[in-house]
Structure 1
Amino acid sequence: MTDPHVIAFYDRHPISADQILAKVGGAPSGAADLWPHDQDHYGGLEANAALAQRAAIGPGTRVLDLCAGLCGPARHNAATLGCSVVALELNAQRASGARRLNALVGFDRRIAVVQGDATRPPFGDGAFDVVWSQEAFLHIADKTGLLAGARRVLKPGGRLAFTDWTAGPALTDADRRLMDEGIAAKAIHSPAEYEGLLTGAGFAEIRREDLSAAWRSILQARLEMYRHLRDEAQRATGADPHADYVRFYERFVALVAGGALGGARFVAVA
């Protein structure tokens, strides 16, 4: 079921197609011009490369990017690895923004953007070699439906590769409410809970890597970026549209620094 809070969160997200194009002067000459600005996940291009290597993505690999957003990773993977990508995105504005960016850099025929629900992927059984996602599954309460759908559309031996925020022992119910209010985090699981969910969905050979330490510094840098975007907006309009977002991120940083939240990379075989 579509959650209006998740939709609204991405409708007002400070990273948008317009914001990316403003950073490149409005006329990108190719996909690489967008890469410094369109990677809306932790770790940028290095994180893409690490996840792609573990998922064994290469020329001809059929990839389903779940919760693909503005397609930054999809464009990078298609350009550098030669894979084909279908990008499934729930939010209409972000799906439209992804298509716009793809067309501007000549990727509209290389990446198919589909608006839809990740818990009910509208594709045939065994259609993909890899299902991929980065820091998006926390927005989805129905992990059973999400992982069952991912398992169904993967061919036998296909790989589910994703990164996500995970719960530490110190994460309280109040912290979970804060995360939901701040970034529409509908369900944050401990690493062990995630592994149990993956096993229950029929996945095997589950590998997990702890990314918490690396994400702490990245999150702090992202906070500074959002503060800069807030300041830019204030200078341009006199308004402060990102004030609540910045206040939330300050608390977010504190939770990660205190170990209540962590990050992990998962790869599992269908």
Structure 2
Amino acid sequence: MTEFWKEHSQFATVEEMMLDSNAVVLTQHELPEILELLPSLDGIDILELGAGIGRYTSHLIGKAHHVTAVDFMENFIEKNRKENSHLGNADFIQADVTQLELSENSFDLIFSNWLLMYLSEEELNSVAKRMLSWLRPGGYLFFRESCFHQSGDCKRDFNPTHYRTPADYSHLMTSLTRKESGESGTHSYGFDTVLCRTVHTYIKMKKNQNQVCWLMQKVRRDMIQQHQGGFKTFQQFLDNQQYTRRGILRYEKMFGSGYVSTGGQSTTKEFVDLLNLSPGQKVLDVGCGIGGGDFYMAKNYRVEVLGMDLSANMVEIAMERAVQEKIPAVQFEVSDATKRTFPESSFDVVYSRDTILHISNKPELFRKFHSWLKPGGKLLITDYCCGEKPWTPAFLDYVNQRGYILYTPQRYGKFLEEAGFTNVRAEDRTAQFIQVIKDELKRAEEIQEEFIEEFSQEDYDAIIRGWTEKLQRCEAGDQRWGLFYASRD
């Protein structure tokens, strides 16, 4: 790695540092985008790893209480010091991050831009653990990496970079835990994902979906929800239990290519038609799955779509498909809709398919949707619902095991009205749901051989059992399916 960067740091230019001949123009657009994703910098202590010649250092120093800028190339850090040391309270350290020793709980934000991809697996694990220790509780980690393949057009005689998948980083970071003692006792801490998304500048300017960034927060791990089966976060529960990569691909085999929600393309076409989309509109897809609906909307209506999902496995597959599809109007991010913020009136449409069943405080979420929509904007949701209580013991067990929070279609519609939506249509579409399940079971019989060859007999049996039980729950009146359509005045 030292030899690689010696070759690409002779003149300490931004083109060398970004390994791209178009670096100056990229920086003009990318820098404000990245800075906008950060938490408030006012008065905080920041550790900038892989600071380079200081593309970001000057902006961090401008607001922070103190910045510690680190890079292992001496001429990079010297140029950074020369350009930025006069701006405020900062230290400039030439050091290898894998050997760096810093005090625990000493920073509010760790910022790194293109660093972890230059570390081996062993080094990455070690540095990730130390970053968790260097942050104060509640502090944030921001990092950005090239995934899948290289981006820059600079000629390289050799390339020691590790082009990992986004899920590789997400799974590592969210699996870390650390015990710390303080005045309130000993507690366990780890990282929660606040945001993981593609860098939009690279999509717009280079049609490149491989630039991915994360914002993570150091949080307490002591309280574990019962339905999470011992997993540290709800995201880990989803990615390790309900939505493993294999599980997602099994669902896709049933729902159709690109889809993990009821009816696949047929229901997607039916419901999207209700929105009367027009070119250039902005759509937010909450619980986007693997992106089939988003690609459909972008291709057929020429809208811009931002797909968000809490499952890193879902978004990784969606990002892979986006690279294949080459549709820059569709972007994806791992984020929690209950924690995500957008400026008021950001979207023309909020769209969500069979996702909100996971969220307990639906009224609060619907108020967010209302504020995110432009005046005249539309909301379309399909979701699992329930019949009136008492439920059968089998349905109660199913809901508890999945951790779902379900309401009747009528109550669901009332929540939307209470959140300020108008023209609310709350339709019980259970009959349609039952027919779709029957059609999918029939299709499963037709592709049985292919399914078993791709997965296994055990996987096939599990899917058939799951769909059959779903049918039984609906026919018993416990499980319902709702379509909800509303607008913002």
TM-score bucket of the superposed structures, by smaller chain: 0.7 to 0.9
CA–CA distance in 2 between the matches of 1:218 and 1:171? 26
TM-score scaled by length of structure 2: 0.47
Per-residue deviation, 1:205 = 1.3
Per-residue deviation, 1:102 = 1.1
CA–CA distance in 1 between the matches of 2:456 and 2:381? 39
Q: Does the 8 Å CA contact 2:429/2:482 hold for their aligned counterparts? A: yes
Q: Does the 8 Å CA contact 2:412/2:426 hold for their aligned counterparts? A: no
The letter for the 2-side match of 1:5 is F
Q: Does the 8 Å CA contact 2:344/2:371 hold for their aligned counterparts? A: yes
1:3-31 CA-to-partner distances (Å, cap 9, x unmatched) read: 24334311256333x996xx8xxxxxxxx
CA–CA distance in 1 between the matches of 2:352 and 2:440? 19
Pairing 1:203–2:421 present: yes
Query: Which residue in 1 is equivalent to 2:373?
Result: 154
Give the unaligned 5+ runs of structure 1.
Answer: 24-34
The letter for the 1-side match of 2:257 is H
CA–CA distance in 2 between the matches of 1:246 and 1:180? 21
Pairing 1:10–2:251 present: no
Q: 1:171 to 1:59 in 2, by over 3 A?
A: farther
Q: 1:15 to 1:226 in 2, by over 3 A?
A: farther
Identity of aligned residues (%): 23
Query: Which residue in 2 is equivalent to 1:120?
Result: 339
CA–CA distance in 2 between the matches of 1:140 and 1:225? 31
The letter for the 1-side match of 2:434 is R
Query: Which residue in 2 is equivalent to 1:88?
Result: 308
Point out the more displaced range, 194-203 or 74-83.
194-203
1:229-257 CA-to-partner distances (Å, cap 9, x unmatched) read: 88657556767246555433322110112
Q: 1:170 to 1:223 in 2, by over 3 A?
A: farther
Residue 284 of structure 2 is aligned with which of 64, 68, 77?
A: 64
CA–CA distance in 2 between the matches of 1:19 and 1:172? 26
TM-score scaled by length of structure 1: 0.81
1:195 counterpart SS class: helix
Q: 1:143 to 1:110 in 2, by over 3 A?
A: same
Q: Does the 8 Å CA contact 1:67/1:133 hold for their aligned counterparts? A: yes
Per-residue deviation, 1:52 = 1.9
Query: Which residue in 2 is equivalent to 1:97?
Result: 317
Query: Which residue in 2 is equivalent to 1:27?
Result: none
Q: Does the 8 Å CA contact 1:167/1:190 hold for their aligned counterparts? A: yes
1:9-59 CA-to-partner distances (Å, cap 9, x unmatched) read: 11256333x996xx8xxxxxxxxxxx9511222233332232223223221
2:480 counterpart SS class: strand
Q: Does the 8 Å CA contact 1:70/1:94 hold for their aligned counterparts? A: yes
The letter for the 2-side match of 1:6 is L
The letter for the 2-side match of 1:96 is E
Q: Does the 8 Å CA contact 1:227/1:246 hold for their aligned counterparts? A: no
1:76-120 CA-to-partner distances (Å, cap 9, x unmatched) read: 01100111100011111111110100110112x111101101122
Q: 1:176 to 1:140 in 2, by over 3 A?
A: farther
Query: Which residue in 2 is equivalent to 1:267?
Result: 485
Q: 1:264 to 1:237 in 2, by over 3 A?
A: closer
Q: Does the 8 Å CA contact 2:358/2:403 hold for their aligned counterparts? A: yes
Pairing 1:240–2:458 present: yes
Larger Rg: 2
Q: Does the 8 Å CA contact 1:219/1:253 hold for their aligned counterparts? A: yes
Query: Which residue in 2 is equivalent to 1:187?
Result: 405
Task: Tell which has more relative contact order, 1 or 2 (C-alpha 8 A, sep 6+).
Answer: 1
The alignment yields a C-alpha RMSD, in angstroms, of 2.9
CA–CA distance in 1 between the matches of 2:397 and 2:370? 30
Residue 76 of structure 1 is aligned with which of 296, 302, 309?
A: 296
Point out the more displaced range, 170-179 or 98-107.
170-179
Query: Which residue in 1 is equivalent to 2:124?
Result: none
CA–CA distance in 1 between the matches of 2:246 and 2:381? 21
Point out the more displaced range, 59-68 or 152-161.
152-161
Q: Does the 8 Å CA contact 1:166/1:261 hold for their aligned counterparts? A: yes
Q: 1:171 to 1:244 in 2, by over 3 A?
A: farther
CA–CA distance in 1 between the matches of 2:408 and 2:455? 41
1:41-52 residue pairs with structure 2 within 5 A? 41-52=261-272
Q: 1:48 to 1:115 in 2, by over 3 A?
A: same
Q: 1:45 to 1:241 in 2, by over 3 A?
A: closer
* Number of equivalenced pairs: 253
Per-residue deviation, 1:227 = 7.2
Residue 39 of structure 1 is aligned with which of 243, 255, 259?
A: 259
Q: Does the 8 Å CA contact 1:120/1:149 hold for their aligned counterparts? A: no
Q: 1:237 to 1:81 in 2, by over 3 A?
A: closer
CA–CA distance in 1 between the matches of 2:452 and 2:459? 8
The structure with the largest strand share of the pair is 2
